[in-house]
Amino acid sequence: QSALTQPASVSGSPGQSITISCTGTSSDVGSYNLVSWYQQHPGKAPKLMIYEGSKRPSGVSNRFSGSKSGNTASLTISGLQAEDEADYYCCSYAGSSTRVFGGGTKLTVL
């Protein structure tokens, strides 16, 4: 159960788009379309932003989108806003009913 690999930090200016990658293996990200993404503001609980790789829960802005290619999933945030500044975590099904998270990415809005 090794953690998925995410960049430690990304940054962008308001209005720009950024992409956060999440690299796993053929045993997790590559084998299942079951990646979810979570946003966490400091001192707060995580919030579900994307499930099943690309689907948005009700109430999540359509500025957030997800995709996958091979063993790498990606979260793209378009039209960056100040309130998007947070930590982002990916999570994948890893077989045998287990889950594995990424190490997290700190998004800074410049």
Judged by CB under 8 A, the chain residues 69 through 108 that form the site for other proteins are 89, 91, 93, 96-104
Residue 72 token pair: 């790498």
By rule CB under 8 A, what count of residues binds other proteins? 26
52-62: burial string, b at 16+ Cβ within 10 Å, e else: ebbebeeebee
**Distance in Å, CB of 16 to other proteins, minimum:** 25
Residue 51 interacts with other proteins (CB under 8 A): yes or no: yes
Three-class DSSP labels, 49-66: EEECCCECCCCCCCCEEE
Residues that bind other proteins (CB under 8 A): 1, 3, 34, 36, 38, 40, 45-48, 51-52, 55, 57, 89, 91, 93, 96-104
